[in-house]
Structure 1
Amino acid sequence: MNRHDASTRYGTQYDPNNQQFLISGVMRPQIADELAPSLALLNEAIEHVRGVLYLDVKRLVQMNNTAFHAFARVILEACRSRPDLRFVIVTSSVVGWTTRKFGHLARIEPSVDVQEYDSDFYPGQGFLEGGGFIPILRTQTKLTWHHERTILPRHGMAHGIAIADICCGIGDFAVLVQKEFKPSRIVALDHSRPSLAYARKVAAEFDIRGIEYTYGDASEMLLEADQFDLVTCRHSLQIFNRPELILKELYRICKPGGRVYVTNEKNSHCLGEPRAESIQWTYNEVARLFSFFDMDVELGPKSRRYLIDAGFDDVRVESFMVTNLDGDPQAFADIIAAWEEVYAGEMAEKRGDSAEFIERFRQGFQDHIFAALHPKGYAGWPIWVASGQKPQ
């Protein structure tokens, strides 16, 4: 069941299977009577639901006081007439005012609870968005771009198309795409405010124009459906505990006939010579460490299955190896050193690993650096590329 008002650009919908009432869009009525159909739908949901009614406002962009008080009145009246019923209001940090505004109801009514949907959804973000990691992210993109610039056209990239780079991080990939392929439009979205602040700073300093940097939750984007020819999401599905939700959104914003392009790793396949045994042991442990924090840095070869399960056709998969031979070996060694500091430092300590384990863990990274810088050495970091076409 749903109601939609094109003039005020909002929608309401009730899903009886999940006992979920959804409010989305821009809700700014002049008088409460304008909301009568939606309020009637909410009352109907309250009448039929048992136990918990979820009020989902993750995509509620704006709501004026008239609308808020109208919905609050219905909720509070239901709490008094139905003491058996609980309300869980699901908000998002991307639309931060919803948590604050609906939090007022929770403070005055014990039967109302507010849950910020994405507060635990990005388990790895705190580890990876620190300012010290930014130079390494730039170096990683520089080394992967050496391969991706030739791979991308096989996965839907072309001049003059509309592109969305989701989980754009510090925005360096979007800059490279803009310079190389000159899209008609490029939106770069991320859930990390520090990363976006850095991206905007670089764009301003280097007079880079035309990239629409946007703060947003990749699992609940405030972007219209069916508007991008190519949607990219690089090295990101592997750090979400529910990648299928991200893919659902990537599918939604992609045009029919367009493609979604993802890259992910299989960290246990990082390699090096000499000292291969130590290196292999450490990267096997990296995979276990990320798994402890509900992340999957082994996702790369699984990309095909994820894309097919998400409904994509014509799924294409290939892989490439970033190595110490792709440019300056020291640049690759610097990446490994940064991995060591984050993985064997903050992450291993937070997991509670022993000093003995961390010492051996660090040794594998140091041996990987040794291999990268050795005049006869070889060090590699494998990346899986996959893309799928949204059915016409």
Structure 2
Amino acid sequence: MRPQTVQEMASAAEVIRRNLDGHSNTVYVNTRRLTHINMTAFNCIAEILSSACKADRQRKIVIVTSSVIAWSAPLFKTLASDEPNLLVEIYDSAFYPGQTFVEDESFIPILRTQTKMTWRHEREILGRHGLRDGLAIADICCGIGDFATLIKRHFNPTRLLALDHSRKSLEYARRVAADFGLTSIEYTYGDASQMLLADNQFDFVTCRHSLQIFDRPDVLLRELYRICKPGGRVYITNEKNSHCLGEPHSESIRWTYDQVARLFSHFDMDVEMGPKSRRLLTDAGFDAIQVETFMVTNLDGDPRDFANMIEAWENVYAGQMAVRRGDPPDFIRRFRQGFKDHVLAALHPKGYAGWPIWAASGRKPY
């Protein structure tokens, strides 16, 4: 909204007034996609909101904004400070249930080790799903950015955008890219469920291990579909944690990973999503869908890497999430034991430990 005069705001102002006048309880004003506004427009809206607040003190007006739009919350909060029945809601302060866990710095070791171990498989898989040199690529929910750096080094994209909602993760990602001398990755702070990106921009869009930690994966898939060019592909990876396995102590390991799935479900996350990938992509409108699975194991390089990953899982899942859920000490001790047995399986000279991943992609129809 950048009008030169208040008269240019007349139609928009009438829409706001009409909707405010038509409701007497709670009215939500959604400004999540209002990226730019000048003071002419803001003052016009402010006058309408203030008048509506004074006209009916029992009515509550809620301005819904996003942390991605830096100016929005401070400006509307200043306005709300003078009107007790005008509130500002930053909807993405914790816009998915597991955000506090995955944005914690203690999660970084998990992400680094996971990418290190999955890349041995994914480098070949990505080619089968249509990734090649010279494409415009977006890595959505990029986390600490290590996957984006690998894409940059091995696939030479013409453009590479990496988006995440964690400022800490993006700061870390920029440092990692700088260490490798990779200066052309566009690290972007944003909400994956409402990206401020134009339609049909990218040839190849990736979203790894992320749909499973959102309570509305269909919303994210619609956004991935929107920013992908017709004929381009969206590539996702997800897990089925209850199928993690190990030997020896297979029973203890199986019990713990069954509990991992239930624990994530408690926080409205689905780490059993892997086999659902085909249905999710189909429902989102993709065609030419490809699905394959691979097993990350302790035999993929140094077994210590696998053990480190499991130890990091234990720290977050048993040390934070189970505690947050309110699980009793006896449960947490048994829960931890399965992780310790999985580490033992990974490091045992005759042992085997596995973590299954589903890789899937779909084409946006022409």
TM-score, L = length of structure 2: 0.95
Answer yes or no: is the 8 Å Cα contact 1:259–1:390 preserved in 2: yes
1:352 aligned residue = 326
Q: 2:2 is matched by which residue type in structure 1?
A: R
Provide the C-alpha distance between the structure 1 equivalents of 2:326 and 2:77, rounded to a whole number of angstroms.
35
Which stretch of the first structure deviates more once superposed, 217-226 or 126-135? 126-135
Q: Are the equivalent residues in 2 in contact too, given 1:121–1:241 (CA < 8 A)?
A: no
In the other structure, the counterpart of 2:174 is: 200
Alignment partner of 2:10: what SS?
helix
Q: Distance in 2 between matches of 1:292 and 1:135?
A: 24
Which is worse superposed, 70-79 or 325-334?
Answer: 70-79
Structure in which a larger fraction of residues adopt strand: 1
User: What is the count of residue pairs matched by the alignment?
Assistant: 366
Structure 1 residues 353-368: aligned runs within 5 Å: 353-368=327-342
Deviations 1:135-191 (A, max 9, x none): 331121011011111111222212111110000001010111111111110100000
Does structure 2 retain, via aligned residues, the 8 Å contact 1:159–1:181?
A: yes
Distance 1:45 1:129 in 2: 37
Write the distance in 1 (CA, Å) between the matches of 2:168 and 2:231.
34
The counterpart of 1:292, out of the listed 266, 272, 278, is: 266
Tell me what 2:113 maps to: 139
Q: State the shift of 1:292 in Å.
A: 1.1
The equivalent residue for 1:167 is: 141
Residue type of the partner of 1:200? Answer: R
Moved more, 196-205 or 58-67: 58-67
**Moved runs in structure 1, 4+ residues, more than 6 A?**
none
Matches of 2:58 and 2:100, distance apart in 1: 39
Which residue of the partner structure matches residue 318 of structure 1?
292
Query: Which structure 2 segments of 5+ residues have no match?
Result: none
Superposition CA RMSD, Å: 1.7
Matching residue within 371, 376, 379 for 2:353: 379
- AA aligned opposite 1:372: A
Partner of 1:24: none
Alpha-carbon distance in 2 for matches of 1:346, 1:214: 28
Secondary structure, counterpart of 1:59 in structure 2: coil
Query: How far is 1:84 from its partner?
Result: 6.7
More displaced, 303-312 or 73-82? 73-82
- Per-residue Cα deviation, 1:197-217 (whole angstroms, up to 9, x for no partner): 011111122211211000001
In structure 2, C-alpha distance between the alignment counterparts of 1:124 and 1:82, rounded to whole Å: 38
Match of 1:248 among 213, 217, 222: 222
Query: Contact between 1:53 and 1:87, CA under 8 Å: does it hold in 2?
Result: yes
TM-score, normalised to structure 1's length? Answer: 0.89
Shift of 1:63: 2.0
CA distance in 2, matches of 1:156, 1:291: 33
Q: How far apart, CA to CA, are the structure 1 residues paired with 2:177 and 2:94?
A: 30
1:67 and 2:67 aligned: no
Kept in 2, the 8 Å contact 1:155–1:387? The answer is: yes
Question: What SS class does the counterpart of residue 58 from structure 1 fall into?
Answer: coil
- Superposed CA offset, 1:28-58 (max 9, x none): 3343233233223323434555644321111
Separation in 2, partners of 1:130, 1:32: 45
Listed as ranges, the gaps of 5+ residues in structure 1 are 1-26
Matches within 5 A, 1:92-131: 92-131=66-105
| Percent identity between the two aligned chains | 63
In the aligned structure 2, how far is the partner of 1:245 from the partner of 1:354? 35
CA distance in 2, matches of 1:45, 1:224: 29
CA distance in 2, matches of 1:386, 1:97: 38
> 1:82: Cα distance to partner?
5.3
The one-letter code sitting in structure 1 at the alignment partner of 2:136 is A
